[in-house]
């Protein structure tokens, strides 16, 4: 079995401050690279915060040059990073919730959230998903928050041969138990590992529970953050199976 290292970036987003959030993302990417991480997943709308009222003004074409520092750094570090951003696809005025994979080879993959949470339709349109990712020998299927509340979404990922189901989310304390149980259940039912990257704290008026986590392909919880706060949740597979660790990340002010 090949070595594979993934991580959830439990990051804090400054509302609408793209420059500050890009700087923070760069720091998380550097910290992840120090741990040998190959795939780093950020929370839902990590580059803007969960700020629906700002989404129309901040939405970008996924190829916008504003993301170039992140794309260049991913290539320099040899890491693939999935970042959250409001997007508009070419030829469309609709605002989508995007999860953009900035790959280590300089390429970019676009995923758009398919299933909206109640209230999100005021600011966003439902997206169409995206292609699976290939990281080494592993196939990765992405999800954004409410996507995974639909069992058919995880089943479709498994049908595509996903070894890892990776979700960027915003989950509060009241919903954490049910949502984490769903994700653990998908891991066990579909024999695919599951990674969940949650926000580090308050965003869009919602207090995140933190507790980003990773479950193995038999549904075993390998590692979880103890609560909110900025950190990496790292899971590493080698010949002995999966091991996990939580790594604090300090963002310079």
- Per-residue pLDDT of 215-250, as tens digits, reads 999 999 999 999 999 999 999 999 999 999 999 998
Number of Cβ within a 10 Å radius of residue 107:
12
Looking at residue 28, its pLDDT comes to 98
Contact 144, 168 (CB under 8 A): yes
pLDDT, mean of residues 163-171 = 98
Two tokens, residue 101 = 């994979």
Q: Is the CB of residue 171 less than 8 Å from the CB of residue 208? A: yes
Predicted confidence band at 106 (pLDDT cuts at 50, 70, 90)? very high
pLDDT of 175 higher than 60: yes
Q: What element of type H or E holds 186? A: helix 173-190
Q: Pairing mode, if any, of strands 213-215 and 202-203? A: unpaired
Residue 14 CB neighbours (<10 A): 15
Q: Average pLDDT of 7-13?
A: 98
Long-range contacts of 106-112 (CB under 8 A, 24+ apart): 106/71, 106/74, 106/75, 108/62, 108/63, 108/67, 108/71, 109/133, 110/62, 111/82, 111/142, 111/144, 112/87
At 71, give phi and psi (nearest 5°).
-65, -40
CB-CB contact of 22 with 210 (8 Å): no
What is the rounded distance in angstroms from the CA atom of residue 112 to the CA atom of residue 51?
A: 17
Q: State how beta strands 138-144 and 133-135 pair.
A: antiparallel
pLDDT at 253 over 90: no
Q: What is the pTM of this model?
A: 0.97
- Looking at residue 1, what is its pLDDT? 67
Identify the three-state secondary structure at position 178. Answer: helix
The long-range contacts involving 188-191, CB below 8 angstroms and separated by at least 24 positions, are 188/215, 188/218, 188/219, 189/219, 190/154, 190/155, 190/157, 190/158, 190/162, 190/165, 191/158, 191/217, 191/218
Mean pLDDT of the 85-100 span = 96
Is residue 251 scored above 80 in pLDDT? no
Query: How confident is the prediction for the chain on average, in pLDDT?
Result: 96
**What's the pLDDT at 250?**
83
- Band the pLDDT of 2: cuts 50, 70, 90: confident
Going from N- to C-terminal start, the domains of the chain cover 4-248
**Can you name the CATH fold of 4-248?**
Nitrilase/N-carbamoyl-D-aminoacid amidohydrolase (3.60.110)
Q: Which of 112, 106, 67, 108 is nearest to 86 (CA)?
A: 112
pLDDT on residue 57 = 96
Percent of the chain with pLDDT over 90: 97
**Residue 222 to residue 7: CA distance in whole angstroms:** 12
């Amino acid at each position: 079995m090949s070595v594979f290292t993934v991580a959830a970036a439990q990051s804090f987003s400054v509302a609408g401050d793209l420059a500050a959030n890009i700087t923070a993302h760069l720091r998380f990417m550097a910290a992840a690279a120090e741990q040998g991480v190959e795939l780093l997943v950020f929370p839902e709308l990590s580059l803007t915060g969960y700020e629906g009222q700002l989404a129309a003004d901040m939405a970008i074409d996924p190829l916008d040059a504003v993301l170039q520092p992140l794309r260049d750094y991913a290539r320099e570090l040899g890491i693939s990073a999935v970042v959250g951003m409001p997007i508009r696809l070419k030829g469309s005025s609709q605002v989508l919730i995007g999860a953009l994979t900035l790959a280590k080879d300089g390429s970019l993959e676009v995923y758009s959230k398919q299933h909206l949470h109640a209230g999100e339709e005021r600011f966003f349109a439902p997206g169409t998903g995206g292609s699976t990712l290939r990281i080494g020998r592993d196939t990765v299927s992405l999800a954004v928050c409410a996507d995974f509340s639909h069992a058919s979404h995880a089943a479709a990922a498994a049908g595509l041969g996903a070894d890892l189901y990776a979700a960027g989310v915003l989950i509060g304390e009241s919903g954490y138990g049910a949502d984490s149980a769903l994700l653990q259940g998908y891991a066990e039912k579909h024999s695919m590992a599951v990674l969940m990257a949650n926000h580090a704290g308050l965003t869009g008026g919602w207090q995140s529970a933190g507790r980003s986590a990773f479950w193995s392909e038999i549904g075993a919880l390998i590692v979880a953050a103890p609560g909110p706060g900025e950190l990496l949740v790292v899971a590493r597979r080698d010949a002995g199976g999966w091991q996990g660790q939580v790594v604090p990340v300090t963002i310079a002010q």
